[in-house]
Amino acid sequence: MIRNQPLDLENSISAARSTVCAPGSWRRPETHFLEAVESPWYHCLAQLQDAFTSATVAFWSARRARFGFLPLTTSSVSSPMGLGSDSLPVAVDMFGVRTYLADSMQFGLEYLCRFAPAGAYYVMPSFRGESTDRTHLAQFMHAEAELPGDLDNVLTVVEAYLRYLAQALASTCSATISRITGDLDHLNRLLHDARPFRRLTFDEAADLLGHDPRWIVRHGGWRSLTREGEQELMARCGQFLWVTHYDHLAVPFYQAQDEHGRAVNADLLFGPGEVVGAGQRHTNRDQVLAALRLHQVDSEAYDWYVRMKETVPLETAGFGLGVERFFMWLLRHDDIRDMQLLPRENGKAINP
């Protein structure tokens, strides 16, 4: 077990004198790979990626969760076109069969929970159809887990996971982090405050923001937070803030509903904004079918999911953490496009 010890290590202080900056070589995809191999920034990033993965495996292994091998292709995207969809699926033709690159394998993790009493996890790429920008990648790494139990349980586990990651990375990569950030104060703040993260319901967040259209957008039957709204909430309430119980039509169909018709979900805001998305799933067949109808999603591709809920009902909740967004917080950086060793953009052929 990693102990929460002070992180003011001697090598961090000396390393901070030699600041490492991102070269922005992703703007030059034809030469990026040559620039990156000589860039201190990307050598630091490679070390952090390895340390992140090792810490993730150690955390879940200690909890007896199982890693699952899941395919990158699916006919059941977790953000289908329909109400509540916040991303575009990436369709591909495989030998005459239309399929999709996985936007998330949350459904696969739900399936794996039927084999794993303590839950299942993975770190895998996710594919989205949107363009890249300063906080969003079209292809990014996703650390996801699905656990037996309810939303409260999974939020508690997420908080433990983040503190474990922070301590592990500080213990193994303190000099590397300090060369980029200058100090480890943000890690110390997370590790030395053991209180649960603050929670606001979406309704409370909307009231706090005065329903200002710069920050809260109405889409007919549901509302969403803008990125500027996320930043405003963090400015007022601090980082590591859970926003819970969104309008049900604002989230994908698979999120459970509470007695007030709100989604049983939560987004964790820190660093660039939303870094973790979490939710509790429907338990049985009838709940899933009703949600598919409500969200106007064709149920054909989810027939297997409905049958799984009918045959092996199980209460689970899960989350996905965007690894590159986590690194933005870790390195106090403002452009996610500097977080890929090999950049990828939709519509561009980039080698290697």
DSSP per-residue codes, 248-300: GGGS-TTB-B-TTSBBSEEEEEETTEEEEEEEEBP-SHHHHHHHHHHTT--SG
Give the global pTM: 0.94
Question: Of the candidates 236, 227, 231, 228, which has an alpha carbon nearest to the alpha carbon of residue 208?
Answer: 236
At 271-325, the pLDDT tens digits run: 999 999 999 999 999 999 999 999 999 999 999 999 999 999 999 999 999 999 9
Q: How confident is the model at residue 220 (pLDDT cuts 50, 70, 90)?
A: confident
CB atoms within 10 A of CB 294: 17
DSSP assigned state of 17: T
Residue 266 makes CB contacts below 8 A (sequence gap 6+) with 151, 155, 199, 242, 243, 244, 245, 277, 278, 279
At 225-265, the pLDDT tens digits run: 999 999 999 999 999 999 999 999 999 999 999 999 999 99
Question: Of the candidates 289, 277, 260, 261, which has an alpha carbon nearest to the alpha carbon of residue 317?
Answer: 277
* Beta pairing, strands 265-270 & 273-280: antiparallel
Question: Which CATH code for domain 10-339?
Answer: 3.30.930.10
* Paired tokens of 3: 């102990």
Question: Of the candidates 243, 257, 175, which has an alpha carbon nearest to the alpha carbon of residue 209?
Answer: 243
Q: What is the residue extent of each domain of the chain?
A: 10-339
Query: What three-state secondary structure class fits 224?
Result: strand
pLDDT of residue 90: 94
At 53-74, the pLDDT tens digits run: 999 999 999 999 999 999 999 9
